[in-house]
Amino acid sequence: MKRLGPPGGGPDLIRTRQAVTSDRSVPPDDDGRVVPFRQRGVPRWRWPASGNLPVRDLTKYEQGEIGDDYRHRMTMNILGLLVTIVLVVAGIWLVDKIAEMRKNQDCYLSGRRNCTPIEAPPIQRE
């Protein structure tokens, strides 16, 4: 042991040769957690072995030399566009009605009467 301290007295510090231990607890062994690492140069997905193919021959699923029916495809695209527009308009109407109902409900719950807006024609001055 070696005594350390300020030169004129004061508290003495004692230096010992002991290892400093950490106050942190040791984490439990997580044997159930597996972190997969991919090796460099190896593709992520591999083709299955040639003997275990899910479908032996894909030619039975191919279409023949039939051309696309352009008119039918355009009709379906326009129909899809119209359905989308109708859904957007219906959504906007629904949001507007919900906001109006919320405003009326807030008016009624605050204790007021005659919360329905009165629509009167504007006054015309001559």
pLDDT mean over 55-66: 72
Q: What is the pTM for the complete model shown?
A: 0.42
Residue 75 binned pLDDT confidence (cut-offs 50, 70, 90): very high
Which of 23-27, 36-40, 53-57 shows the lowest per-residue confidence on average (mean pLDDT)? 23-27
Indicate left, alpha or beta for 9 from its phi (over 0: left) and psi (-120 to 50: alpha).
left
pLDDT digits (tens, 9 = 90+) for 26-42: 666 666 777 777 777 77
The domain segmentation of the chain, as residue ranges, is 70-113
pLDDT the model gives residue 93: 97
10 Å Cβ neighbour count for 104? 13
